[in-house]
Structure 1
Amino acid sequence: MTTDRLVFVDLETTGANPALDRITEIGVVEVDQSGVATHWSTLVNPEQPIPAFIQSLTGISNEMVRKAPTFAELATSLHERLEGALFIAHNARFDYGFLRNAFEQLGLSFKPDVLCTVKLSRALFPDEHRHNLDTLVARHQLKADTRHRALADADLLWQLWQKLRSNLPSETFDAALRSLLQRPSLPSHLPTNSIDHIPDTPGVYLFYGENDIPLYVGKSVRLRQRVLSHFNADHKEYKEMRLSQQLHRIEIRETAGEIGALLLEARLIKDLQPVHNRLLRRQGDLCAWQLRENEQGHIMPVLTHASEQDFGRAERLFGLFSGKRKADTALRALAESHQLCLVQLGLERRSGPLKPCFNWQLKRCNGVCVGKESESFHRARLEAALAKLRVETWPYAGAIGLIEPGADRTDVHVVNNWCFLGSAHSEDEVHDLLEQSPSRPAFDLDTYKILHRALANKQLSVRLLQRQHD
């Protein structure tokens, strides 16, 4: 296999985030098609301080880069040096990501073919477990002068290339190159065949790290496209770069359509608590306002919790909140926007008979607390204000099956009291889900929103499976 001009590249930076950190040193070993190597390096003024621990690691101090050129001053000549060559680096997504981001900030497009020497080593020596640069130096007896300086590390990669070229059969080496260069650029710890069987169908994908630690759960109606998009974006987003650096394994769970993917994603995130998922994690103290009559016969909102009663069957619930503080804040905001009385809402204690609430003094209450408004009229205004927050009572007599047809499968999503019990593909599976479900499944806010939207839009056909008394 013939190769174009090669550039072995290593960078030193102020940190690991390409959006926030900057390059401090660039080392390039440029090899032409005849095998002649040219070494080039430069310090770079990052225009920001270098953290002390980075200075200790690389030996590059703030004083050393103070009079060095900025990246903007180097960009045009560096771009010309790298353009059209096969870009080779160790953990290449890091170096490529920093350079591509830096070039793009200056309006320069940088999209070379990229080869990662970590993945090359994995492809050629699949029985070896370690492929970091120090390990490769020892394994292949490379000559290391100074580690963690850009040109020295770039030269080690050139040495590695020559060793592999001379010590391995050419067909073995070329086959590995062809395989790696024809594939999308994957995270270095991910086996090269990991994406081969990912379908472009609806479903959920799970990213696992070292020791099978759950990193991230996502969903899509086109799984393959969505999974690959993570790897195309990580040069810009720090979160995506960190995710790629940690990723070791991908698991795929197909569904018939989008509703099934949404429901499964919400459940798996609650169950697995992945490191990089934030928004859909389990709510610790789900609560809502419920209109109840107190001892004096007044109707007022009382905070109730999902752990105390079945939110799927409860009536007169309003708002779903992840804790008391958020519930109080929402009710106070409602009081101010609708001129409601804080005393009547239970948010403020009356200091004496007919003593006004604080909102009355601010002219934000219509005066039910001082007899200026009837309690019945205030109650009617309260219920009208709460209407948009109403939690709908489960509208069926028992469990239902939401039937979602797909291209080559049909899923029956078994649901009761707004709780997702699972998806089935046969009558036996439906029966098992109903039999195995707890007497009162945990009410989940995200699942409620998904199901409420699906039922309101009449996206799926519904089949009654079991009446409540069965």
Structure 2
Amino acid sequence: MLPCYVLLDLETTGGSPVNDRITEIAAVRMEGGREVARWSTLVNPGCTVSPFIESLTGISTAMVATAPPFAEVAPQLMALLDDAVLVAHNVRFDHGFLLNEFARADMALRAKTLCTVRLSRALYPQHRSHGLDAIMQRHGLSTTARHRAMGDVDVVSQWLQQAETELGADHVAQQALALLQGSAALPPQLETHVGDIPETPGVYRFYGEGTLPLYIGKSIKLRSRVMAHFQAATREAREMRISQEICRVEWTETAGELGALLLEARLIKDQQPIYNRQLRRETTLCAWRLEDQPKTRPLVKLIRGEELNPREFDRLYGVYRSKNQALSSLRELADTHTLCLQSLGLESGKGRCFAQQIGRCKGVCCGLEAPEVHWLRLKLALAQQQLQVWPHPGKIGLREYNARTGRTDIHLFDQWCHLATVHDEGDLEDALTSSAPALAFDLDTYRLLLKHLSGSGKPGVELIRFPARD
């Protein structure tokens, strides 16, 4: 198949290359089509083997108790892999464990890898399943040591020999070499051809077997970012879980990074991918509204959700992602600026508040401070958190142009809200004249737009001001 390669299989205490450990290694080195070395060993993982893993592999805690730790067998395995391609069924799993184990032993593994799951897909595209059990059944292969390292290595070896007999050794070698050119890092079950993903700005979506995405991300170089996920799977548990579930990748190109950020935020809030921890739908956004009359009690009111009207931002302060966060911020502000907790609605009762009794309030609650003075001090304390009023008389556009692709995106905004993204003058006119539904405030869009309007955003984005329309 290849001039020099090592067929390898591992048994482990679990599926995470970061947290779990190797319990058994088997390797067969092939040179010029001949087996030149065969080696296997149990490995002491330094932890117990769970009952589930023991029932699956037959390897128990007692069996590995006297086995050598990985650090002792690492030099022998490294010598076996020297100048050889590492070949395994779902090689990313085995390669990930080896990378972490060698790193713990202060050794660096540098080996090209070839996945026989992907090779099976390339050689037998008419079949849907390419797991080892499916291959054994389809090709009439057998072993008395399934889920033991050397037993599984022998099954893969038998399959490779049968494939060469059925399809020709040259064809198998040709497909193996094609896969060797950078695709071995891909999840074996991935149906999407990564080479089709463009190196342009945009948003990518990872899907499993269902219709809802597992993860949504953005990048100015889509293909490179997608590949970075797969390469990180050997080091990060979340990336490993995504790689184990992903079946296909879909993407949408944009003219630039601003369009990608806007689209990513909208899609994540609409579709709620399970692996996106940030940019989720803001169902509990709230802000403090300062009352106009100094004698009003309480002086501030919590405004939530759809009540967050950008046209009232001159009276709103925040924004907070929860009521608890808003209350905590207000208490901290009161403590820092000796404000009255009663007047803020943070403490019930009448007369001297507790903070005044311990010298942390100047006494607006008991007539020692004028309400107008206290109101002014509160307003000054809140000033740094005040939301910015929309600085334009009407709608604006931010135009992005990509000289490489020739794509133009015009992002239309009003009152800090993203109304639409259009690509030509006709669509722009329709968007400007349409009677859009009530605007919903979005914190991520607000912060993103603030950066661009203040000049701290990415260069190459042109501001277009539209006259106010009746």
TM-score range (shorter-chain normalised) is over 0.9
Q: Aligned letter for 1:394?
A: W
Q: Spell out, residue by residue over 1:111-167, the C-alpha distance to the aligned partner (whole angstroms, 9 max, x if none).
A: 211111111111111121111110001111112212211111121111111111121
Provide the C-alpha distance between the structure 1 equivalents of 2:55 and 2:310, rounded to a whole number of angstroms.
57
1:312–1:418 contact (8 Å) kept in structure 2: no
2:24–2:43 contact (8 Å) kept in structure 1: yes
Query: Counterpart in 1 of 2:375?
Result: 379
Question: Using a 3 Å threshold, how does the CA distance of structure 1 residues 437 and 268 change in structure 2: closer, same or farther?
Answer: farther
- Give 5+ residue unaligned stretches, structure 1: none
Question: Using a 3 Å threshold, how does the CA distance of structure 1 residues 69 and 303 change in structure 2: closer, same or farther?
Answer: same
1:289–1:319 contact (8 Å) kept in structure 2: yes
Q: 1:8 Cα shift?
A: 1.3
Provide the C-alpha distance between the structure 2 equivalents of 1:208 and 1:466, rounded to a whole number of angstroms.
43
Query: Counterpart in 1 of 2:190?
Result: 190
Question: Using a 3 Å threshold, how does the CA distance of structure 1 residues 294 and 51 change in structure 2: closer, same or farther?
Answer: farther
Instruction: Report the 3-state secondary structure (helix = DSSP H, G, I; strand = E; otherwise coil) of the residue aligned with 1:3.
Output: coil
**1:100-119, aligned counterparts within 5 Å?**
100-119=99-118
* Pair 1:356 & 2:353 matched: yes
Count residues with an aligned counterpart. 464
Query: Counterpart in 2 of 1:394?
Result: 390
Query: Counterpart in 2 of 1:419?
Result: 417
Provide the C-alpha distance between the structure 2 equivalents of 1:152 and 1:45, rounded to a whole number of angstroms.
20
Question: Using a 3 Å threshold, how does the CA distance of structure 1 residues 155 and 319 change in structure 2: closer, same or farther?
Answer: same
Query: Counterpart in 1 of 2:444?
Result: 446
Q: 1:412 Cα shift?
A: 0.5
Provide the C-alpha distance between the structure 1 equivalents of 2:205 and 2:68, rounded to a whole number of angstroms.
44
**1:42-81, aligned counterparts within 5 Å?**
42-81=41-80
Provide the C-alpha distance between the structure 2 equivalents of 1:86 and 1:458, rounded to a whole number of angstroms.
48
Q: 1:458 Cα shift?
A: 6.3
What value does the CA root-mean-square deviation take over the aligned residues? 2.1
Q: Aligned letter for 1:248?
A: C
Question: Using a 3 Å threshold, how does the CA distance of structure 1 residues 433 and 154 change in structure 2: closer, same or farther?
Answer: farther
2:287–2:308 contact (8 Å) kept in structure 1: no
Provide the C-alpha distance between the structure 1 equivalents of 2:401 and 2:155, rounded to a whole number of angstroms.
55
Q: 1:212 Cα shift?
A: 3.6
Provide the C-alpha distance between the structure 2 equivalents of 1:223 and 1:58, rounded to a whole number of angstroms.
40
2:2–2:176 contact (8 Å) kept in structure 1: no
Question: Using a 3 Å threshold, how does the CA distance of structure 1 residues 125 and 216 change in structure 2: closer, same or farther?
Answer: same
Provide the TM-score with structure 2 as the length reference.
0.93
Q: 1:279 Cα shift?
A: 0.7
Instruction: Report the 3-state secondary structure (helix = DSSP H, G, I; strand = E; otherwise coil) of the residue aligned with 2:162.
Output: helix
Provide the TM-score with structure 1 as the length reference.
0.93
Q: Spell out, residue by residue over 1:33-55, the C-alpha distance to the aligned partner (whole angstroms, 9 max, x if none).
A: 24125432211111122222222
1:233–1:240 contact (8 Å) kept in structure 2: yes
Question: Using a 3 Å threshold, how does the CA distance of structure 1 residues 15 and 362 change in structure 2: closer, same or farther?
Answer: farther
**1:293-372, aligned counterparts within 5 Å?**
293=292, 296-297=295-296, 300-311=299-310, 313-350=312-349, 352=350, 354-357=351-354, 359-372=355-368
Q: 1:250 Cα shift?
A: 1.4
Query: Counterpart in 1 of 2:5?
Result: 6
Q: 1:248 Cα shift?
A: 1.4
1:259–1:454 contact (8 Å) kept in structure 2: no
Question: Using a 3 Å threshold, how does the CA distance of structure 1 residues 98 and 451 change in structure 2: closer, same or farther?
Answer: same
Query: Counterpart in 2 of 1:200?
Result: 199
Q: 1:174 Cα shift?
A: 2.4
* Pair 1:128 & 2:127 matched: yes
Q: Aligned letter for 1:276?
A: Y
1:321–1:327 contact (8 Å) kept in structure 2: yes
Question: Using a 3 Å threshold, how does the CA distance of structure 1 residues 63 and 431 change in structure 2: closer, same or farther?
Answer: same
Q: 1:314 Cα shift?
A: 4.1
Provide the C-alpha distance between the structure 1 equivalents of 2:16 and 2:358, rounded to a whole number of angstroms.
49
Q: 1:238 Cα shift?
A: 0.8
Provide the C-alpha distance between the structure 2 equivalents of 1:343 and 1:389, rounded to a whole number of angstroms.
21
Provide the C-alpha distance between the structure 2 equivalents of 1:270 and 1:28, rounded to a whole number of angstroms.
47
Range 318-327 or range 363-372, more displaced:
363-372
1:313–1:394 contact (8 Å) kept in structure 2: no
Q: Spell out, residue by residue over 1:196-230, the C-alpha distance to the aligned partner (whole angstroms, 9 max, x if none).
A: 13222221111111134301111112222212111
Q: 1:366 Cα shift?
A: 3.4
Q: Aligned letter for 1:186?
A: L
Q: Aligned letter for 1:443?
A: F
**1:276-287, aligned counterparts within 5 Å?**
276-287=275-286
Instruction: Report the 3-state secondary structure (helix = DSSP H, G, I; strand = E; otherwise coil) of the residue aligned with 1:36.
Output: strand
2:294–2:372 contact (8 Å) kept in structure 1: no
Q: 1:296 Cα shift?
A: 4.5
Question: Using a 3 Å threshold, how does the CA distance of structure 1 residues 166 and 393 change in structure 2: closer, same or farther?
Answer: same
Q: Spell out, residue by residue over 1:351-373, the C-alpha distance to the aligned partner (whole angstroms, 9 max, x if none).
A: x3x2223x334543333333443
2:399–2:463 contact (8 Å) kept in structure 1: yes
Query: Counterpart in 1 of 2:35?
Result: 36
Query: Counterpart in 2 of 1:23?
Result: 22
Q: 1:443 Cα shift?
A: 1.2
Query: Counterpart in 2 of 1:291?
Result: 290
1:421–1:437 contact (8 Å) kept in structure 2: no
Instruction: Report the 3-state secondary structure (helix = DSSP H, G, I; strand = E; otherwise coil) of the residue aligned with 1:109.
Output: coil
Query: Counterpart in 1 of 2:229?
Result: 230
Query: Counterpart in 1 of 2:168?
Result: 169
Q: Spell out, residue by residue over 1:293-336, the C-alpha distance to the aligned partner (whole angstroms, 9 max, x if none).
A: 46944571110113235235543111112221221122122222
Provide the C-alpha distance between the structure 1 equivalents of 2:430 and 2:171, rounded to a whole number of angstroms.
52
Q: Aligned letter for 1:147?
A: R
